Amino acid sequence: MTAPTRLDAYVDGPRADSEGRPMFQLIAPDGTLTNAGEQLGVSVELAQELYSDMVLARRLDQEALSLQRQGELSLWLMSWGQEAAQVGSIRALRPSDMVFPSYREHAAALCRGISPADLMRQWKGSSHSGWDPKGPRFHIYSLVLGTQTLHATGYASGAVMERTDEVVATYFGDGAASQGDVNEAFNWAAAGSLPVLFFCQNNQWAISTPTTIQMRTPLHVRAAGFGLDAYHVDGNDVMAVHAVTTLATERIRDGGGPALIEAQTYRFGGHSSSDDPKRYRSDDEVAGWELRDPLRRMETFLRGANAGDEFFDALAQEADTFAATVREQCKGLAGADLGDLFDRVYVDAHPVLDEERLAHAHHLTTLGSEN
């Protein structure tokens, strides 16, 4: 087993209490080090790397939403606000660790080298999915809530049989945690002591449903009942997320069994480009979370740690170049061809899909005759 680290003193393992433990934090929202941050230290070099990842991820989001508004994408699900949770966690994994994401993990996907074009293909409607999971070790997005946690658990069983030393990570939301699938995955991963890291981004909302009406106890407290190690972390503090994920994955890799990390974060944008969050949440709530913005906090921290204008200017330039690439790649993608999509669901013909294809063709003819 891994020797206890100094981090253990701040982030204990499975002993979740019914009140919910305070969350682990290294950098406070105002960019200063917390007590734990002072004690444990924070690598400025790592902070710069993670901050750079977050800046590029936010830029992708902004560009993609604009592109959707310009009719270049059919739909986009924003990750704006959740960059620290995603970047901090994925960067703490080994590149060989398999990841099963949900549908909003664009920041994590970029860190695994998935191109903007591949990320946007699905949302343009050019294809069901944009990439082959084998290369980046990052599974395709799952839009059916929670299914990916079972895929991860099954995959982890295979990893155990094949005696790899992989940690299998899966991302899901607070809303997905209410699904039976997720609770089954918790149980089977714990029962089999499988190397699964369950990473919950609690962004406070499941479309228009707040966490307050979805659960009576904090999510990480639930883990103890399943026999999972649990960690509660400030998901807008990228350094804390990185540290906690590093500790959790070390324990899992050492045979300690699965763990759940609950990262408290916030989705600044709507649920998707089709959603209007003003219908269900207040400006005050959003303003409160803006004070905890993961990027602003890191910029303040880094400026305090003497990262100079040179660093920020170079990054701003990199982000501009990246944004141009995002636009160019999006415009270069083929538009939706639904006829083709029907052919790509099953290897062999399927009567239900054949029927749907005909209905779609009929719909197009009707549209044509109306014009």
SS3 category, 175:
coil
How far apart are CB 367 and Mg ion at their closest, in Å? 36
Nearer to ligand TPP by Cβ, of 207 and 334: the residue is 207
- Partner interacting with residue 143 (select from ligand TPP, Mg ion, none; CB below 5-8 Å by kind): ligand TPP
Nearer to ligand TPP by Cβ, of 281 and 357: the residue is 281
How far apart are CB 1 and Mg ion at their closest, in Å? 34
Q: Give counts: helices (H), strands (E), the chain.
A: 14, 7
Nearer to Mg ion by Cβ, of 86 and 203: the residue is 203
SS3 category, 233:
strand
How far apart are CB 77 and ligand TPP at their closest, in Å? 7
Nearer to ligand TPP by Cβ, of 79 and 249: the residue is 79
Closest residue to Mg ion: CB criterion: 173
88's tokens: 């901090």
Gap between the terminal Cα atoms of the chain: 70
- Partner interacting with residue 345 (select from ligand TPP, Mg ion, none; CB below 5-8 Å by kind): none
Which residue carries 């997720």 as its tokens? 182
- Element spanning 169, H or E: strand 168-173
How far apart are CB 172 and Mg ion at their closest, in Å? 9
| Whether the Cβ atoms of residue 107 and residue 83 lie closer than 8 Å to each other | yes
How far apart are CB 354 and Mg ion at their closest, in Å? 37
Sign of the CA dihedral with 55 first, then 174, 150, and 118 last: negative
Nearer to ligand TPP by Cβ, of 152 and 307: the residue is 152
Nearer to ligand TPP by Cβ, of 173 and 235: the residue is 173
Closest residue to ligand TPP: CB criterion: 173
Nearer to ligand TPP by Cβ, of 130 and 146: the residue is 146
How far apart are CB 202 and ligand TPP at their closest, in Å? 8
Interface residues with ligand TPP (CB under 6 A) are 104, 143-145, 173-176, 203, 205-207, 267, 271
- Partner interacting with residue 271 (select from Mg ion, ligand TPP, none; CB below 5-8 Å by kind): ligand TPP
Calpha distance 266→269 (Å, rounded): 9
Amino acid making up residue 357: R
- Partner interacting with residue 176 (select from ligand TPP, Mg ion, none; CB below 5-8 Å by kind): ligand TPP
- Partner interacting with residue 336 (select from Mg ion, ligand TPP, none; CB below 5-8 Å by kind): none
Nearer to ligand TPP by Cβ, of 40 and 182: the residue is 182
Nearer to Mg ion by Cβ, of 61 and 166: the residue is 61
| Whether the Cβ atoms of residue 263 and residue 85 lie closer than 8 Å to each other | yes
| Whether the Cβ atoms of residue 65 and residue 78 lie closer than 8 Å to each other | yes
How far apart are CB 275 and Mg ion at their closest, in Å? 12
How far apart are CB 362 and ligand TPP at their closest, in Å? 27
Burial grade of 312 (CB within 10 A; 0-12, 13-18, 19 or more): middle
CA dist 106 to 84, 95, 190, Å?
12, 16, 28
Nearest to 196 by CA among 150, 153, 137: 153
The single-letter DSSP state of residue 47 is: H
Phi-psi region of 172 (alpha: psi -120 to 50; beta: other; left: phi over 0): beta
The single-letter DSSP state of residue 268 is: -
Interface residues with Mg ion (CB under 5 A) are 173-175, 203, 206
132's tokens: 């082959």
| Whether the Cβ atoms of residue 104 and residue 225 lie closer than 8 Å to each other | no
Nearest to 261 by CA among 238, 246, 244: 244
- Partner interacting with residue 207 (select from ligand TPP, Mg ion, none; CB below 5-8 Å by kind): ligand TPP
How far apart are CB 153 and ligand TPP at their closest, in Å? 17
Q: What are phi and psi of 167, to 5 degrees?
A: -105, 135
